Structure 1
Amino acid sequence: MPSIRCGGCAKFLSPAEGVKCSICNAAYHRSCVGLPRGTSITSWRCPECTKNDRRDNKAETPVRGRADMGHSSDDLMSPGTVGHAENDMVASLSPAVATELRRFKEELCAEFRLMRHEVLQLRTEMAELKDSLKGCAEHMNSLEARVDALEHKLSEKASDKSPLEGVVAELKSQLNERDQELLLNDVEVTGIPESQEESTLHLVKVLSNKLGVAIDEKDIVHVERIGSTRRNREEPSEGTFNPAAQRPRSLVVRFARRATRDALLREARVRRGFNTSELGFGGPSRPAHRVYINERLTRTNRHIFYKARQAGSTHNWRYVWTKGGRVFARKEDGRKVERITCEDDISRIFG
């Protein structure tokens, strides 16, 4: 008996498994033409014989069903099936069109491979960038922690002086006290008019005689003017006197003995308020000015004394004075005497 092939899937079949067309006698698997098994069919036409019939959209119209030409849907979607279908389609076209389609396919594949390579490279770069950003974030967190620690340390130093700063302050205080000891025999006289032909020694003798203190030339080590030399030293002309321009420089006197200096200061406190007219320096063209006799202080002590007097005036302290080169203050009679050695003492005492 000759072998029979299915007209749909081209596979061999047995007469019991298939069905024959009543017109062309072509055999088909029942599954290929959508006929149920176990049913007897006496008159049946194959799809080739019925393809020219008028369609009426009835359900019995032969359909290959889920399997086309004996292949399942998975077989149809497999690469081999797609490749065969593509080759069959290309073979059915003209050679020029087929060549153009192959070239277009190759270009698409090349572009796809290039795009895939670029995407993989982009993913790699993004991963590296992510790691780099993570490292930068950790570094920034470390820097912020260090800055916070430094700020905290600086704030602690600002609130509490370091031992080195305390040592420096102590050394400055000791140097200032030693410099002040060198000035214990000196007095500073302000308010005496100045001229180019003056004799400073004669001025001191006139001043001491006016205060009732006998001073000999051997009691004086030296006398000099101190201060800026830009102040006017010329004699004022009539009608052109300017007190601000004619303010004289201070007169500094160093005595050979401290007792002589103390006697002069004691008498000056008793005669407080005497002026230049009492010393014979007044006149119609030169008004009288008060003369002040004080201890000579170092620049540091002079600044502290100035600040202490300002603070005492502001807070109504009655007494702010110097003795032996030291600055003292007392709010009123009967109260404790405070010694002022630095500006911190001013804020502590008067605050």
Structure 2
Amino acid sequence: MRVKKQRSKSDSNDSNLTEDRLRKLIKQDMTETITHLVTEQLANLNHQISGFQESLSFINKQYDSLLQTVSEKNEIINNLVTKNEYLTSQVHNLTERLGQVEQSMRSTNIEISGLPEHKLENLTSTIVQLGNIVDNPIADTDIMHVTRIAKINKESNRPRSVIVKLRSQRRRDELLAAVSRFNKKNRDKKLNSEYLGLGGRCVPVFVSEHLTLTNKRLHAIARSKAREAGFKFVWIRDGRIFVRRNEQCHAIYIKDEESLQLIV
């Protein structure tokens, strides 16, 4: 019986040792497995990070290159904008100077609007008659050239305007002043075709300075705006357009379309 008890105790110890060892083996195996898996995952992660770093480095290089390109393009654009502003200013100045030259070339001209057309008309005789009517006689030698000009609006029924080139600017100004005096004196019956001995329906005749197309358009807009704003006076002097609200106000020089904003 004693022998049996000892064997039983020995068997129990062997069993305990086996179980502990088994646990150690399992733990060791699990540790090795986990370590292997973690090591493998870390290696993959390191590989991915390395690839990401390479991609990020490439993107940074591309971004830097793009920034440099954008900076260069911005500099080019700024230079072009500056150059365009300069050229625009130069074109504006040249256009203005050209307009002044064109207007100066017409300094001895008058334009007669509303004068009825006839196939056998003698414009020189009509101009001489005009001078007599307004008490400012005109000799044939004062008239350097006279002609009708083409209509701006081909569909208009109005007669073509007559352009008269006189001997001098002083002679032109004298005739314009005489026409103005005549119209003020005859407010109820201003200058018209009947005074000039032209048959047909009696129509008003207007005598003014010969303006360039640009100034003529500007004058028309100025008259319209002045009428809307209640200005009493709009006139032309030596190719320049002026407006004035009333007798107490100063005259405003309408140099260009921007100046029209002054008519308020």
TM-score by length of 1: 0.56
Counterpart in 2 of 1:202?
Answer: 125
| Counterpart pick for 2:237 among 315, 323, 344 | 323
What is the one-letter code of the residue matched to 1:340? I
Counterpart in 2 of 1:227?
Answer: 150
- Contact 1:225 1:252 survives alignment (8 Å): yes
The 1:25/1:319 distance shift into structure 2, 3 A limit, reads: closer
| Counterpart pick for 2:191 among 255, 274, 297 | 274
Where does the alignment leave 5 or more consecutive residues of structure 2 unmatched?
33-39, 184-189
Bigger CA drift: 183-192 or 331-340? 331-340
- Contact 1:185 1:254 survives alignment (8 Å): yes
What is the one-letter code of the residue matched to 1:253? V
| Counterpart pick for 2:100 among 177, 196, 206 | 177
Instruction: State the identity as a percent.
Output: 20
Partner of 1:246, secondary structure, is coil
What is the one-letter code of the residue matched to 2:255? T
What is the one-letter code of the residue matched to 1:325? G
Q: What does the per-residue CA deviation read over 1:170-220, in whole Å, with 9 as the maximum and x for residues that have no partner?
A: 443333223222211100001012244333323322333333332222211
Counterpart in 1 of 2:18?
Answer: 68
Q: What does the per-residue CA deviation read over 1:125-178, in whole Å, with 9 as the maximum and x for residues that have no partner?
A: 555455556667777888999999999x79x98xxx956655544443333223
Partner of 2:4, secondary structure, is coil
Counterpart in 2 of 1:252?
Answer: 163
Q: Distance in 1 between matches of 2:119 and 2:44?
A: 97
CA RMSD of aligned residues (A): 4.4
- Contact 2:126 2:196 survives alignment (8 Å): no
Structure 1 residue 27: Cα displacement? 8.7
Counterpart in 2 of 1:288?
Answer: 202
Structure 1 residue 276: Cα displacement? 1.8
Are 1:311 and 2:222 counterparts? no
Bigger relative contact order (CA 8 A; separation at least 6): 2
Counterpart in 2 of 1:186?
Answer: 109
Counterpart in 1 of 2:263?
Answer: 350
Bigger CA drift: 123-132 or 202-211? 123-132
- Contact 1:190 1:249 survives alignment (8 Å): yes
Structure 1 residue 265: Cα displacement? 0.9
Structure 1 residue 315: Cα displacement? 1.5
- Contact 2:209 2:236 survives alignment (8 Å): yes
Structure 1 residue 77: Cα displacement? 4.3
Partner of 1:271, secondary structure, is helix
What is the one-letter code of the residue matched to 1:265? L
Partner of 2:235, secondary structure, is strand
Partner of 1:172, secondary structure, is helix
Q: Distance in 1 between matches of 2:88 and 2:8?
A: 117
The 1:314/1:142 distance shift into structure 2, 3 A limit, reads: farther
Q: Distance in 1 between matches of 2:229 and 2:153?
A: 36
Q: Distance in 1 between matches of 2:229 and 2:156?
A: 33
Q: What does the per-residue CA deviation read over 1:13-33, in whole Å, with 9 as the maximum and x for residues that have no partner?
A: xxxxxxx96299699465324
Q: What does the per-residue CA deviation read over 1:234-270, in whole Å, with 9 as the maximum and x for residues that have no partner?
A: xxxxxxxxxx753111100001122322222112112
What is the one-letter code of the residue matched to 2:139? D
Counterpart in 2 of 1:32?
Answer: 14
- Contact 1:21 1:27 survives alignment (8 Å): no
The 1:146/1:317 distance shift into structure 2, 3 A limit, reads: farther
- Contact 1:212 1:267 survives alignment (8 Å): yes
What is the one-letter code of the residue matched to 2:133? K
- Contact 1:220 1:255 survives alignment (8 Å): yes
Counterpart in 1 of 2:175?
Answer: 264
- Contact 1:32 1:70 survives alignment (8 Å): no
Q: Distance in 2 between matches of 1:139 and 1:21?
A: 92
The 1:230/1:342 distance shift into structure 2, 3 A limit, reads: closer
- Contact 1:322 1:328 survives alignment (8 Å): yes
Q: Distance in 2 between matches of 1:316 and 1:164?
A: 38
Q: Distance in 1 between matches of 2:156 and 2:212?
A: 26
